Amino acid sequence: MNKKALAILLRSKMRPLSPVSNKVNQLQHAPLEGNRLATQNDSIKTRRDFGQVRESMHSVISMNKKEILDTALNEFSEGYFSLSQENRHKLLLILAQEYDLNRTKVRDLMKQYVGLEIPNGDETDEHGLEMDGQLSAFYRIERNLRHALKPMYEVLFERLNTHPGGLKFLASVRADILSIIADENVASIRALDSYLKEKLITWLSPANLELHQITWNDPASLLEKIVAYEAVHPISNLIDLKRRLGLGRRCFGYLHPSIPGEPLIFIEVALMKNMACTILEVLWHDPPTPECEATTALFYSISSTQPGLAGINLGKFLIKRVIYLVKKDMPNIYNFATLSPIPGFMQWLLSKLASSERSGPIFCENILKPEEERALLDAYMDSTTGRNGMEVLLHLLTSTNHEWTQYERLITELEPILLRLCARYLVLEKKRGKALDSVANFHLQNGAMIGRLNWMADRSEKGFSQSGGIMVNYIYSLENIEDYAQAYFSTGHIQASPDVHHYIKPLERNEDPIN
């Protein structure tokens, strides 16, 4: 890396943008903060700006001259970014409602269609020619209907997609659409979102994405993105970044030709002798395993960079392509696994415990076994009497600075309890038939298996808050990926190793109404 590139990299933030500040508008343009303190004049100015942006949006949709179209597209996207969040919402609502499809035309075509007689499908029909003519009418109306069923805003999306910078812009627009939906559930905006999402899925099909191995030789402008977007284990400094791209490590990203120099999603891989039990082994293991001795590729971080691509699973294809690539390059590697956080475990457990506190001992499920409760109360030598095991557990887990992690005895007693509850959370707790935990859901739908729970695997503040420090290995075994993914997709079946099942047998198994 040359000096200038290094200087740029050093200047860049060495912490990921926090979720709150990680708003798309800040990554693109400074938001017009002044508007918030708007005087009367400012407010008139804002209104005029809004009118202009709306006008340019209309031009983009309706004009035919390609030359001026480029100017209009630039004007529109610049204007859009200059709008306040409120005005963007207003504009998107107009787009969804006033640039919808022509329902009268759709109905007219339908009436024509319903009036047609379905020809006899018998191929040996002697009236072959006549049948062909009848079918022609079907094909014609079907083609017309396909076009009539496209909302007018499709033109905007299509034109932006082929415009330089347009695909990235559309991802930002979708991020705004998602934030509107989070605030308020409007049918037309939902329809806009689902249409744009389908388009994005097409444009971002794996065939259009380029797998790129990210190395220390890449431009600083690209590496800066890795630092900014690493969502799982923040990159603390340059040495840390260099280590993640160096010996015994790999980093792969998916790039789209229209969004150069910025991976849409990237994955970090450690080449190891064994499947790691703690994240420190991965992040600080020094020196790394010689690559020729490695048998395991451990995926320890996967981050996407575009909030507007939420719900579009690029990670699935990325993981599979990386597995094939690593397997081809290094035939000695045969284990493919993750070391993953369990972001929803504590939240789920604390809400279980809190609700039991509220509803009292009679109406709630005691999620502790009697022997667990006894051991816990013994270890927890607080003088306050009358507290039951669940109350103690809640108190310990919500103590400031995770105080329980300072006491050896508490750690020992909590280990079997939290591992068992964590196994239950991962394997049995579901929402609409899918794993409740978002990371679990991601890997399960990709065809992974829950392999092993690791106690005290992530001792960071975030690790303790999210999952009591527990991490999980999801295992990708090439021969089973498709079967597992299919079973999870169709029946919600969660594949887990005997080790993991062991935690929840037999008690939890009996609780499961299905078994």
Active site (catalytic) residues: 340, 443
Give the nearer residue to a second copy in terms of CB position, either 23 or 212. Answer: 212
DSSP state of 310: T
Count other Cβ atoms within 10 Å, centred on residue 442: 19
- Selected binder of a second copy within 138, 348, 407, 455 (CB under 8 A): 138
Binding of a second copy by 359 (CB under 8 A): no
Binding of a second copy by 485 (CB under 8 A): yes
How would you class 31 by CB atoms within 10 Å of its CB: exposed for 0-12, middle for 13-18, buried for 19 or more?
middle
Binding of a second copy by 149 (CB under 8 A): yes
- Please compute Rg for the chain using Cα positions: 28
Give the nearer residue to a second copy in terms of CB position, either 138 or 407. Answer: 138
Backbone phi and psi for residue 383, each to the nearest 5 degrees, phi listed first: -75, -20
Give the nearer residue to a second copy in terms of CB position, either 225 or 320. Answer: 320
Q: Binding segment for a second copy among 299-307, 356-364, 374-382, 479-487 (CB under 8 A)? A: 479-487
CA–CA gap between residue 432 and residue 167 (Å, rounded): 32
Strand 434-435 versus strand 430-431 pairing type: antiparallel
Strand 335-338 versus strand 296-304 pairing type: parallel
Binding of a second copy by 136 (CB under 8 A): yes
- Whether residue 258 contacts residue 167, with contact meaning beta carbons closer than 8 Å, is answered with yes
Task: State CA 116 to chain mean position distance.
Answer: 46
Can you tell me whether residue 342 is helix, strand or coil?
A: coil
| Residues 34-73 close enough to bind a second copy by CB under 8 A | 64-68
Binding of a second copy by 161 (CB under 8 A): yes
- Selected binder of a second copy within 20, 114, 381, 514 (CB under 8 A): 114
Cα separations in angstroms, 134 against 106, 110, 111, 140, 226: 21, 16, 16, 10, 58
Closest distance of CB 96 from a second copy, Å: 10
- Selected binder of a second copy within 4, 111, 328, 432 (CB under 8 A): 111
Residue with tokens 């347009």: 166
- Whether residue 208 contacts residue 257, with contact meaning beta carbons closer than 8 Å, is answered with yes
How would you class 176 by CB atoms within 10 Å of its CB: exposed for 0-12, middle for 13-18, buried for 19 or more?
buried
- Whether residue 252 contacts residue 325, with contact meaning beta carbons closer than 8 Å, is answered with yes
Residue 64, token pair as written in the block: 């035919």
Q: How many residues lie near a second copy (CB under 8 A)?
A: 53
Binding of a second copy by 115 (CB under 8 A): no
Omega prior to 260 cis, within 30 of 0:
no
CA–CA gap between residue 423 and residue 417 (Å, rounded): 10
| Residues 175-214 close enough to bind a second copy by CB under 8 A | 186-188, 190-191, 194, 202-203, 205-208, 210
Closest distance of CB 215 from a second copy, Å: 20
Closest distance of CB 259 from a second copy, Å: 10
Give the nearer residue to a second copy in terms of CB position, either 183 or 483. Answer: 483
Binding of a second copy by 493 (CB under 8 A): no
Q: Binding segment for a second copy among 14-22, 130-138, 325-333, 501-509 (CB under 8 A)? A: 130-138
Closest distance of CB 426 from a second copy, Å: 24
Binding of a second copy by 107 (CB under 8 A): yes
Half-sphere exposure of residue 16: CA atoms within 13 angstroms, side-chain side: 16
> Nearest CA to 262 among 322, 207, 202, 309?
309
Cα separations in angstroms, 270 against 156, 225, 337, 458: 43, 20, 10, 16
Closest distance of CB 145 from a second copy, Å: 6
Binding of a second copy by 482 (CB under 8 A): yes
Per-residue contact flags (x/-) with a second copy for residues 228 to 257, judged by CB under 8 A: -----------------------------x
Question: Biggest alpha carbon distance in the chain?
Answer: 96
Closest distance of CB 277 from a second copy, Å: 30
Task: State CA 510 to chain mean position distance.
Answer: 33
Count other Cβ atoms within 10 Å, centred on residue 347: 15
Binding of a second copy by 3 (CB under 8 A): no
- Selected binder of a second copy within 139, 217, 292, 328 (CB under 8 A): 139
Binding of a second copy by 152 (CB under 8 A): no
Closest distance of CB 181 from a second copy, Å: 13
> Nearest CA to 368 among 416, 412, 404, 330?
416
Closest distance of CB 94 from a second copy, Å: 10
How would you class 365 by CB atoms within 10 Å of its CB: exposed for 0-12, middle for 13-18, buried for 19 or more?
exposed
Binding of a second copy by 258 (CB under 8 A): yes
Count other Cβ atoms within 10 Å, centred on residue 41: 8
Can you tell me whether residue 239 is helix, strand or coil?
A: helix
- Selected binder of a second copy within 142, 183, 382, 403 (CB under 8 A): 142
Closest distance of CB 72 from a second copy, Å: 12
Give the nearer residue to a second copy in terms of CB position, either 203 or 299. Answer: 203
**186 DSSP β-pair partners:** none
- Selected binder of a second copy within 486, 505, 511, 512 (CB under 8 A): 486
Q: Binding segment for a second copy among 107-115, 221-229, 273-281, 385-393 (CB under 8 A)? A: 107-115
Binding of a second copy by 118 (CB under 8 A): yes
* Sites of contact with a second copy (CB under 8 A): 64-68, 97, 101, 103-104, 106-107, 110-111, 113-114, 118, 121, 123, 132-133, 135-136, 138-139, 142-143, 145-146, 149, 161-162, 166-167, 186-188, 190-191, 194, 202-203, 205-208, 210, 257-258, 481-483, 485-486
